Structure 1
Amino acid sequence: MRLVTQLPKTAISFCKPNFHISLSLAISEKFFSSILDCGTPVSNINPKSYGQLLEACVTNKNLEFGKLIHSKIVINGLENDSFFATKLISHYSACGNVSVAELAFHRVSAQNVFLLNAMIRGYSINGLYQKALDFFYENSNGGPEPDSYTFSCLLKVCSLLSDLRQGRKIQDLALECGFGSDLFVSNSLIAMFGKCGSLLEGILVFESMPQRDIVSWNSIITAYIHNGFDCEAMVKVQELIQSSLRPDAVTMVNALSVCTSAATIREIHCYVVRNGHDSTPSVRNSLISKYGMCGQTEEAHLVFNKVFRPDKVAWNAVICSYAQNGCFKESIQLLREMNLAGFDSDIVTYSGIISSLVQNDYADEAMETFTEMLNLGLKPDVITVASILPAISDIKHFNNCKEIHGYSYRHELESDRRVRNALVSVYAKCDSIQNAVRVFAKIKDRDVISWSSMVVGYAQNGHFNESLDTFSEMIKDQIIPNPITVTSVLSACAGISVIRQGKEIHLWALKNEFGAQTFVGTALIDMYAKCGRIEDSKRVFDLMTEKNLVTLNSMIGGYAIHGLGKKALDIFRKVEEPDHISFIAALSACNHGGLIEEGIKIFNSMKDFGISPREGHFACMVDILGRSGRLNEAFDLIRTMPIKANPDIWGALLGACKIHSNLEIGFYSGAQIIESGCENPGYYVLISNILADFGKWEEVETIRKLMKERGVSKGAACSWIEMNNEVHSFVAKERAQHPEWETLSKMLRSLYDQMKEMK
């Protein structure tokens, strides 16, 4: 006769990874019949057998088998037993059937802390975080006394909700119950405070702990990293190494996550090998990824080759390491080898390649890879969608953006904040600011990227006031801007020349230690220059400890628009490796400063730096020659250009012809612009004015008719003025729309009358 004591071996077999979870119900029933029909009285059956079988069901998430065990428990009158109820709650929660878990909880008359903890954990693993907290509060009066595990679970729930207020409340309750010094509760508190952005409180808990384990150290290290204090995290790693405890695989993965140089990665790699962590898959895969991120593809491949049987994560890591460094042929070859090794390429693999292509400005290739992925029948996930959208923005395929937006909505991906952030950015870059605003309005849990995308989007599309308003809302929402946000809002200030707000943002940047950021400093130089404060631009420039090429170009351009050609060229001559923007800024400075010969020399020197003139350089050069009256030279330059002249180049010559009253070249330049199909109303008005200067009224009328036929209309002139901390705009022919127009009109008439009397 088979004894019931053999049951645990059977239960263990259910835990084997290769056990076929879909074991038929008939076999399960036969198995239980053999137990119950063996002649052993029910009272003699060890209750732990059912408990162990339920644990096996939890491991394999076998709902049907668990139901069968549940029925046997009910038949034997054991459903009110708290031990079995706890196992049933765990089983049904693991299988996603929370409502049945609740029934199992409420059917036990004498509830205990194990039942309470099982139910809280059940809510948590099913994403019902707030319900877990509500359940605890409902059972806190008159219910079982919570233990250390209860508070640890609740603090994890607060972390997942990013609810600092609730976390502090749970901390107070834990202190009242005498768990203030409990190791597990303290570890959970550190993790919660770190996740909720209150690092200082996490540090205080860590420092006050009477004893610490490796989890304590890993929790505080993770908290530092999560809050952006990478250097401090590495200091804690060093302190841990010097303590009596030994870092584990989690510590090594954390340490690697903050490495920014190949030398540091190698140092950690050596420590990993010496202490036997190199056999841990998570550490090996992190090493592969970090070597790849630092451009060390050979080292990444060496680590990969030492793996006896690389898993899918290792394959994806090494493929991405090559892709990130522009070695796309190698990454595709590895992708094929991965398939031959028995691993199917998945969404993670393709998402990594697509993201790398986008980061390396291979937008078209990213779209091709995305199409290949779709042809394989793989369905994009949140990461894939968020990765491909920047590629669409680079090539401005508006229809593709709408298609992916539609796909995201249909497959319930659109509600993810990462996808919505990317959509805001992409719509803005595709000149569809209305769609960007609609998506932004749907983001409830906005982060710094959400706000920054909208601030940048408004600025890129010329909606400068809206950009400033959104930035103000962002500050009110207590979201700390990043350098990109500050740079964009400064460009908005420059766009409408609001010096007061520009100065306020400058002060804010200094207080929040953004002043040292090179890109922010560059934006300040540009803002002050466009607001007419070139001395302030120079002051910011001089105070910057680190200047890159963009900074130098901005200062050259600032001097250029103020007509300070010689000062602009003084800086230009200090640039060791100028780019095409440097030359445009320098040529513009020569143009505004009347430095004709210097402009010609600079233009001719471009070939010495291996830079071929582009349309912008030719336009500047034509303007320089034209404004100085050398119209024939400018005309010859256009005719001998290696590229076809665009309307801007002909427009530069046309403007010079208006200044110097040259009808012949002016008429020819105008004809070239009209034939190109250009719809810039300014050029049509300029042609018309030149013809009018020479009394060609019939031709003037022809130009006006042509404008009507083509639907070209001159945009209304607009001006701005800032008074009493408010920007007022005035549009031609829409004067009455301003609420103070009558008062302003009276003042203007009074000034006009006084001016007439002075004559």
Structure 2
Amino acid sequence: MAAIEMPNIRFHQLLGGMAQRNTFACNSLIRAHFEAKNYRTALSLYHQMLLNGTPFDNFTFPCVLTTCRHSNHLFLGKQVHAQLTKLGFASDNFVCTALIGMYGELDSIEIARHVLDEMPQRNSIAWTILLGFHANGDNPQLGLQTFFEMEASASRLILKIGFQGDLLVGNALLSMYLDCRFMDFAREVFNQIEVKDVVTWTAMINGYVKNGSFNEGLKLFRKMLFSGIRPDPSSISSILPACARVSAHKHGKEIHCYVTKCELAKNLVVDNALVDMYAKSGSIEYATKIFEKNCERDVVSYTVMVEGCSLHGLGELGVSLFHEMREEGIEPDHVAYSAVLRACKAGALVEEGKLFFDCIEQPEIEDYISMVSLLCRANLFDEARAFIEEHGIVHCAQTQSTLLDGCRMHRKKQMGKRMIEQLIELDPYNSNNYVLLSNIYASMGKWGMVSSLREMIMDLGLKPMHAYSWIVVRNKAHVFGVADVSHPRSQRIYWELEALMEKMRQSGHVLENDFSMHDVDEERECIPSGHSEMLAIGFGLISIQSRVPIRVVKNLRVCRNCHSMAEWISKFVDREIVLKDRDQFHHFKDGNCSCGELW
């Protein structure tokens, strides 16, 4: 042993005079001196135990090692490590935990990790100590990896021994996996919980919906109902976002019926979720009815309604609701201001938009983009450029893309061409940018440049996005691509669309053939009736009974030609057509569109 100052003579006599050199008494004395920060005395007592032949136990070494750590005695700590290994204490959990603390603080995290790896059974304290060293170190990624290893280690043990009927343990483990987005492990835990409560079901459903597995969430919700578990407001608000799509609109209505029957609709959280679901699935009328019936409203109630108005081109109504909220004494938050700014964008309400933007204390990039879009929609490009330079967002691809949208709306081809060239510099591996430039050159008749750009796309290994549209008829989704002839009723669909186009020509309606600044290459070269959204609309016309709105979704932006055709068809057949493209809903009715030609 290294030279250590011996304790005072009185204490030495006390220890030596014991009838039996009791391990417990020695441990207690060492701990007492450690807690009093008499580190040298504590270590001297350990030395005296060695000289007197007093037996050690698994409580002696942790205290001695911790004393070495606090007194910066690494050399002595290593000697103690050798002694405890020789005496067979190297596999004890308490001892190993103390070793990890000592090595992690006085030597290196790598040695501390080695001690942890050699432990027969790792405990949470050992993991936590190691995590603490990582948190204070310069490798946070390694700390995160250690955390996941700890979680996995603990959960594997629980899965191995089973929950023993402990629902609380099962729910906690399920929550942990869902927070980490380990859906497969979460489902395994969920399946092992024999008696599930509403919390268990809700957590798993919410996990699926948050991760975009909407159909799995809906299946599990139905299974919960069949199992006899009654959903609570949290369950309903968790599943409704899965129905906030045009294709799942019917499921949302069914859940709404269930909510009404079970008198859950009086809950504010459920009501807000219903408004959000109807607005995002294309039924702004239903969303408005529920909102107006609500006796109680909070900032979320108004925010989801304002957001819904912006999605459906009802900018002025959205702004009006925002003012109503403030008159009611409800203080808007950042999310509410962002929503009303998008409503101003939808309605091209420039002055209101400027006022709302100035109210946002710490604008995020989405708020800046909304403001640029608003100015571009109002054809205020000089103001938009000044705003961009003022806020230092010139070199942001989103900014240039937003300026390009404004150029497309107002048919500014030359400016649009410059925007696309800048976009290619900022984002050279985005195939859509090359498609946009190709369509610009095609509109100018520069076919050589079009061919060159196609070769460049192939050389870079890029894959342009394909346009798809879908429609739900009798609970089945029918998907159409450009010039698609794979549908069983393709011949009848094309015949219907060609007949309508002939009527259109006879009425003097002129088709829009401007595909400049459009982001789909294949549509430019296809006949108008072969565009995916027109095929979906054609199928709706021959499959859905009259007076029922036709609801279609497209993954990309609708082209000018199809927009113009949908307007004409809605008036000719006296039928509402709801088309959801990449950015917003278009409600075609009586020859007009809710977007006000701003899309």
TM-score, normalised relative to structure 2: 0.54
Structure 1 residues 278 and 142: alpha-carbon distance in aligned structure 2, compared to 1, 3 A threshold: closer
Separation of aligned partners in 1, 2:245 and 2:305? 17
Identity value in percent: 17
1:304 Cα deviation after fit: 1.9
- Name the aligned partner's letter for residue 325 of structure 1: K
- Structure 2 partner of 1:70: 152
Q: Superposed, which structure 2 residues align to 1:409-420 within 5 Å?
A: 417=479, 420=480
Equivalent residues of 1:181, 1:210 under 8 A apart: no
- Structure 1 partner of 2:308: 223
- Structure 1 partner of 2:391: 307
Structure 1 residues 185 and 96: alpha-carbon distance in aligned structure 2, compared to 1, 3 A threshold: same
- Name the aligned partner's letter for residue 349 of structure 2: T
- Name the aligned partner's letter for residue 304 of structure 1: I
Structure 1 residues 159 and 350: alpha-carbon distance in aligned structure 2, compared to 1, 3 A threshold: same
> 2:422 aligned to 292, 316, 334, which one?
334
1:285 is aligned to 2:285: no
SS of 1:212's equivalent? coil
As a proportion of its length, which structure holds more helix? 1
Q: What do the CA deviations read for 1:582-622 (whole angstroms, capped 9, x no partner)?
A: xxxxxxxxxxxxxxxxxxxxxxxxxxxxxxxxxxxxxxxxx
> 2:283 aligned to 193, 198, 222, which one?
198
1:92 Cα deviation after fit: 5.5
1:514 Cα deviation after fit: 6.2
> 1:484 aligned to 547, 565, 578, which one?
565
Higher relative contact order (CA 8 A, sep 6+): 2
Q: Superposed, which structure 2 residues align to 1:353-372 within 5 Å?
A: 364=447, 369=453, 371-372=455-456
1:118 Cα deviation after fit: 2.3
Q: Superposed, which structure 2 residues align to 1:232-381 within 5 Å?
A: 232-257=317-342, 264-273=349-358, 275-276=359-360, 279-308=363-392, 311-318=396-403, 321=406, 325-326=412-413, 327-328=415-416, 330-332=418-420, 334-335=422-423, 339=426, 345-347=429-431, 349-350=433-434, 364=447, 369=453, 371-381=455-465
Structure 1 residues 208 and 329: alpha-carbon distance in aligned structure 2, compared to 1, 3 A threshold: closer
Structure 1 residues 86 and 470: alpha-carbon distance in aligned structure 2, compared to 1, 3 A threshold: closer
1:34 is aligned to 2:119: no
Equivalent residues of 1:316, 1:349 under 8 A apart: no
- Name the aligned partner's letter for residue 293 of structure 2: S
Structure 1 residues 451 and 46: alpha-carbon distance in aligned structure 2, compared to 1, 3 A threshold: farther
Separation of aligned partners in 2, 1:442 and 1:126? 35
Equivalent residues of 2:345, 2:371 under 8 A apart: no
- Structure 2 partner of 1:631: none
Structure 1 residues 83 and 506: alpha-carbon distance in aligned structure 2, compared to 1, 3 A threshold: closer
Separation of aligned partners in 1, 2:549 and 2:175? 39
Equivalent residues of 1:92, 1:98 under 8 A apart: yes
Separation of aligned partners in 2, 1:65 and 1:179? 40
CA RMSD of aligned residues (A): 5.5
Equivalent residues of 1:437, 1:454 under 8 A apart: no
Equivalent residues of 2:307, 2:340 under 8 A apart: no
- Structure 1 partner of 2:60: none
Q: What do the CA deviations read for 1:170-195 (whole angstroms, capped 9, x no partner)?
A: 23444565532322211110011223
Q: Superposed, which structure 2 residues align to 1:643-722 within 5 Å?
A: none
1:136 is aligned to 2:221: yes
1:223 Cα deviation after fit: 3.0
Separation of aligned partners in 2, 1:453 and 1:84? 63
Equivalent residues of 1:249, 1:282 under 8 A apart: no
Q: What do the CA deviations read for 1:256-302 (whole angstroms, capped 9, x no partner)?
A: 545579972243123312x0357221110122233334433322222
Structure 1 residues 515 and 469: alpha-carbon distance in aligned structure 2, compared to 1, 3 A threshold: closer
- Name the aligned partner's letter for residue 378 of structure 1: L
SS of 1:476's equivalent? coil
Separation of aligned partners in 2, 1:489 and 1:189? 28
- Structure 1 partner of 2:41: none
Equivalent residues of 1:221, 1:237 under 8 A apart: yes
Separation of aligned partners in 2, 1:142 and 1:245? 41
SS of 2:245's equivalent? helix
> 2:240 aligned to 155, 170, 174, which one?
155
Equivalent residues of 1:162, 1:195 under 8 A apart: no
Structure 1 residues 487 and 264: alpha-carbon distance in aligned structure 2, compared to 1, 3 A threshold: closer
- Name the aligned partner's letter for residue 375 of structure 2: Y
- Name the aligned partner's letter for residue 473 of structure 1: I
SS of 2:244's equivalent? helix
Structure 1 residues 208 and 70: alpha-carbon distance in aligned structure 2, compared to 1, 3 A threshold: same
1:508 Cα deviation after fit: 7.5
- Name the aligned partner's letter for residue 484 of structure 1: M
1:212 Cα deviation after fit: 2.1
Equivalent residues of 2:275, 2:290 under 8 A apart: yes
Q: What do the CA deviations read for 1:447-475 (whole angstroms, capped 9, x no partner)?
A: xx998699549988999xx9x99785266
1:151 Cα deviation after fit: 0.7
> 2:298 aligned to 202, 210, 213, which one?
213
- Structure 2 partner of 1:473: 542
1:82 Cα deviation after fit: 4.8
Structure 1 residues 285 and 145: alpha-carbon distance in aligned structure 2, compared to 1, 3 A threshold: same
SS of 1:380's equivalent? coil
1:159 Cα deviation after fit: 2.0
Equivalent residues of 2:497, 2:538 under 8 A apart: no
- Structure 2 partner of 1:104: 189
Equivalent residues of 2:345, 2:353 under 8 A apart: no
Structure 1 residues 207 and 506: alpha-carbon distance in aligned structure 2, compared to 1, 3 A threshold: closer
Structure 1 residues 95 and 212: alpha-carbon distance in aligned structure 2, compared to 1, 3 A threshold: same
1:127 Cα deviation after fit: 4.2
- Name the aligned partner's letter for residue 412 of structure 2: N
Equivalent residues of 2:326, 2:332 under 8 A apart: yes
Separation of aligned partners in 2, 1:272 and 1:196? 28
- Give unmatched runs, 5+ long, in structure 2: 1-65, 71-92, 98-108, 136-140, 470-476, 506-526, 530-534, 552-562, 577-586, 594-599
Q: What do the CA deviations read for 1:486-525 (whole angstroms, capped 9, x no partner)?
A: 74799xxxxxxxxxxxxxx58889xx9966769xxxxxxx
